[in-house]
């Protein structure tokens, strides 16, 4: 793998020393300028989801100034920043997580909260004795009839367009938030040719609520008809009997030794991340309604976030600033112990904690590649757009990991080995680059290449590039190649074309 860091980007500004909290909405359109809207919030946004049917943002907020409520879920107009409606939690209750889950042809919002004050985890990593609440919110559409009455319609998948900001909706006074945009104004009732209907509105209605033993820290949709939820060191497979969002049934339960921090799924595979044992893979048997652990992390790891690339591979970030790729190499679950049977296939120390890790789409194939299929450089470009990783960190960085072919990796590995020791591109303070990027990982674990280091090659002059490639490597920087024969000499053109291909796609 190879990593490229693009630029710093803040979605939330929740610095406690600042009197105001902001939500930044960024529009990224290929071949167009970047548009940014800044919305002032009366609390700290903890998670933002986009509801496609209403075309509204669903925002989980904490640290509200309301004396009776310190946390809520609200519907926000992405054009003006107006809070159109909100569902307020109980006094002292704090929202922890939320996800959109499919129920029949509709979508509901599943929210996990904490009803207890104090820490959720003991120093040993076990869960404290706390309580939390699992909440199901129905996203309903209200229509103003000609007689002035309000009609409720709870349906998803409709083709109706998003509403414009309202001053008062369903008894809630809409909070008008300040906004500054480079592209659109709050008074503009259309965007990209979409006319906003003022006869429609959306609100959140409580469908189901129950108290669980433990803070509900993670929820995740599963197989389009279930959802996963964790409380303490337990996680559950839950369903809606008869597609009724007002009823939730726990179908199966799994337990770990320590506090569960994350839940994710890919097809039938479930990945559970806890605060000590790392990532655990489970499979769910629908007929028997039973969860079975099949794979386990080879090392102890305090998981920050996790995403499944496929049923056998997970990208995991930890609280020490590393991102690791774990995979089951034999692809066999039969007659194998689930203890420490995952292999570390790649590791990279970022120096920042990635709180969100997601599988993304990225391809660095140029339009000219179709016309150059006969060339060796173009023929080596594969379709890797579905195997990239996007990570966002606490310090506001967005980091992109992209897979490389073996030939590309060997080529850039040889270039990086020279860049880290060349006077023009080596670390300024003389630090050991390899030691820093391998911090916290196993000695023989495969390493990801450093895109920031490799990008310096494009900033050099032609003579400097030639000097870097001609630099002999010492014993500690000797590169091991699979072939017994000496590798062919590296040319500047090979390196520049490969690096420019990636940067063309990023920019």
Q: What is the CATH classification number for the domain harbouring 460?
A: 1.10.150
Give the lowest-confidence range in 22-26, 92-96, 110-114, 274-278: 22-26
| 358 and 409 belong to one structural domain | no
| 438 and 322 belong to one structural domain | no
Q: How many CB atoms lie within 10 A of CB 98?
A: 23
Give the pLDDT confidence score for residue 472 in this predicted structure.
83
- Out of 310, 334, 364, a domain closes at 364
Angle between helices 462-469 and 492-506 (to 10 degrees): 110
Give the lowest-confidence range in 68-77, 228-237, 247-256, 424-433: 424-433
pLDDT digits (tens, 9 = 90+) for 212-264: 999 999 999 999 999 999 999 999 999 999 999 999 999 999 999 999 999 99
Question: Residue 438's closest CA among 350, 315, 352, 348?
Answer: 348
Mean pLDDT estimate for the chain: 78
3-state secondary structure of 498: helix
Give the integer Cα–Cα distance in Å for 275 and 258. 6
| 422 and 297 belong to one structural domain | no
Give the pLDDT confidence score for residue 158 in this predicted structure.
37
3-state secondary structure of 317: strand
| 355 and 262 belong to one structural domain | yes
Give the pLDDT confidence score for residue 185 in this predicted structure.
40
CATH of the domain at 79: 2.130.10.10
Question: Residue 366's closest CA among 494, 507, 505?
Answer: 505
First-to-last CA distance in the chain?
20
pLDDT digits (tens, 9 = 90+) for 289-307: 999 999 999 888 999 999 9
Q: Name the token pair of 37.
A: 């809207």
Is position 398 within any domain? no
- Out of 364, 381, 413, a domain closes at 364
| 221 and 306 belong to one structural domain | yes
3-state secondary structure of 6: strand
Give the pLDDT confidence score for residue 419 in this predicted structure.
93
| 347 and 416 belong to one structural domain | no
Which residues form the domain of 439? 405-474+486-506
Span 185-211, mean pLDDT?
Answer: 64
440 has a pLDDT exceeding 60: yes
Give the integer Cα–Cα distance in Å for 229 and 261. 11
Is position 212 within any domain? yes
pLDDT digits (tens, 9 = 90+) for 358-374: 998 776 665 555 544 54
Angle between helices 462-469 and 406-419 (to 10 degrees): 100
Beta bridge partners of 310: 313
Distances (CA, A) of 155 to 102, 109, 172, 205, 365: 12, 13, 21, 13, 41
| 98 and 245 belong to one structural domain | yes
Q: How many CB atoms lie within 10 A of CB 278?
A: 25
Q: Kindly report the three-state secondary structure assignment for every residue of 241-307.
A: HHHCCCCCEEEEEEECCCCEEEEEEECCEEEEEECCECEEEEEEECCCCEEEEEEECCCCECEEEEE
Is position 259 within any domain? yes
| 89 and 218 belong to one structural domain | yes
Q: How many CB atoms lie within 10 A of CB 52?
A: 11
Distances (CA, A) of 382 to 6, 211, 313, 401: 22, 50, 20, 16
Question: Residue 389's closest CA among 334, 337, 313, 446?
Answer: 313
| 360 and 463 belong to one structural domain | no
| 308 and 420 belong to one structural domain | no
Q: Name the token pair of 490.
A: 């590296």
Number of domains the chain contains = 2
Give the integer Cα–Cα distance in Å for 265 and 263. 7
340 has a pLDDT exceeding 80: no
Is position 239 within any domain? yes
Is position 500 within any domain? yes
- Out of 334, 364, 394, a domain closes at 364
The residue that leads in pLDDT, 162 or 295, is: 295
Is position 133 within any domain? yes
Q: Which residue has the tokens 């690791």?
A: 324
Q: Grade residue 417 by pLDDT with cuts at 50, 70 and 90.
A: very high
| 332 and 438 belong to one structural domain | no
Is position 192 within any domain? no
117 has a pLDDT exceeding 70: yes
DSSP summary character for residue 1: -
* DSSP state string for 19-45: S-EEEEEEE--TTS--EEEEEEESSEE
Q: Name the token pair of 262.
A: 């994350």
3-state secondary structure of 315: strand
* DSSP state string for 86-106: EEEPPTT-EEEEEEEEEETTE
C-alpha 224: how far from its chain's center?
A: 19
Give the pLDDT confidence score for residue 367 in this predicted structure.
54
Q: Is there a contact between 63 and 21 (Cβ–Cβ < 8 Å)?
A: yes
pLDDT digits (tens, 9 = 90+) for 170-191: 333 344 443 333 344 444 444 4
Cα Dmax for the chain: 85
Q: Is there a contact between 24 and 10 (Cβ–Cβ < 8 Å)?
A: yes
DSSP summary character for residue 332: -
The number of residues in the chain equals 507
| 360 and 409 belong to one structural domain | no
Is position 321 within any domain? yes
Q: Grade residue 403 by pLDDT with cuts at 50, 70 and 90.
A: confident
In our burial notation (b when 16+ CB lie closer than 10 A, e otherwise), range 160-189 reads bebbbbbeebbebebbebebebebbebeee
pTM exceeds 0.85: no
Q: Grade residue 446 by pLDDT with cuts at 50, 70 and 90.
A: confident
Strands 2-8, 449-450: parallel, antiparallel or unpaired by DSSP? parallel
């Amino acid at each position: 793998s190879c990593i490229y860091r693009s630029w710093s980007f803040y979605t939330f500004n929740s610095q406690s020393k600042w009197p105001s909290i902001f939500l930044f909405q960024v529009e990224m359109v290929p071949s167009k300028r970047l548009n940014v809207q800044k919305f002032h919030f009366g609390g700290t946004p903890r998670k933002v989801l986009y509801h496609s049917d209403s075309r509204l943002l669903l925002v989980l907020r904490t640290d509200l100034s309301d004396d009776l409520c310190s946390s809520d879920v609200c519907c926000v107009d992405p054009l003006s920043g107006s809070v159109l409606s909100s569902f307020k939690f109980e006094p002292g209750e704090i929202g922890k997580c939320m996800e959109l889950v499919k129920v029949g042809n509709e979508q509901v919002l599943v929210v996990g909260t904490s009803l207890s004050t104090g820490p959720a985890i003991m120093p040993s990593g076990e869960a404290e004795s706390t309580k939390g609440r699992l909440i199901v919110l129905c996203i309903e559409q209200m229509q103003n009839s000609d007689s002035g009455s309000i009609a409720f319609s709870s349906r998803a998948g409709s083709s109706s367009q998003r509403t414009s900001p309202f001053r008062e909706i369903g008894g809630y006074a809409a909070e008008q938030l300040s906004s500054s945009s480079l592209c659109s104004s709050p008074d503009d009732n259309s965007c990209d040719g979409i006319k906003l209907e003022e006869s429609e509105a959306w609100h959140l209605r409580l469908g189901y609520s129950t108290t669980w033993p433990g803070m509900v820290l993670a929820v995740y949709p599963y197989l389009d008809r279930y959802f996963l939820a964790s409380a303490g060191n337990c996680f559950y497979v839950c369903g809606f009997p008869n597609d009724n969002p007002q009823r939730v049934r726990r179908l199966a339960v799994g337990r770990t030794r320590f506090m569960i921090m994350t839940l994710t799924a890919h097809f039938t595979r479930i990945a559970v991340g806890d605060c000590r044992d790392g990532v655990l893979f489970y499979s769910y048997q629908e007929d028997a309604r039973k969860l079975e652990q099949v794979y386990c992390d080879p090392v102890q790891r305090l998981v920050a976030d996790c995403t499944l690339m496929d049923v056998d591979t997970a990208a995991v970030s930890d609280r020490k600033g590393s991102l690791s790729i774990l995979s089951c190499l034999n692809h066999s679950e039969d007659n194998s112990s689930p203890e420490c049977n995952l292999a570390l296939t790649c590791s990279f120390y970022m120096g920042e904690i990635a709180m969100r890790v997601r599988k993304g789409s990225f391809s660095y194939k140029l339009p000219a590649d179709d016309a150059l299929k006969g060339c060796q450089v173009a023929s080596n470009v594969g379709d890797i757009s579905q195997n990239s990783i996007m990570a966002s960190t606490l310090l506001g960085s967005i980091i992109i990991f992209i897979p490389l072919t073996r030939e590309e990796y060997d080529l850039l590995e040889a270039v990086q080995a020279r860049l880290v020791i060349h006077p023009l591109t080596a670390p300024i303070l003389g630090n050991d680059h390899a030691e820093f990027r391998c911090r916290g990982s196993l000695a023989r674990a495969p390493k990801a290449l450093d895109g920031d280091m490799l990008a310096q090659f494009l900033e050099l002059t032609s003579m400097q590039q030639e000097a870097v490639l001609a630099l002999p490597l010492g014993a500690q920087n000797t590169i091991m190649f699979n072939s017994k024969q000496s590798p062919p000499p590296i040319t500047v053109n090979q390196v520049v074309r490969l690096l420019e291909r990636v940067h063309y796609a990023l920019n």
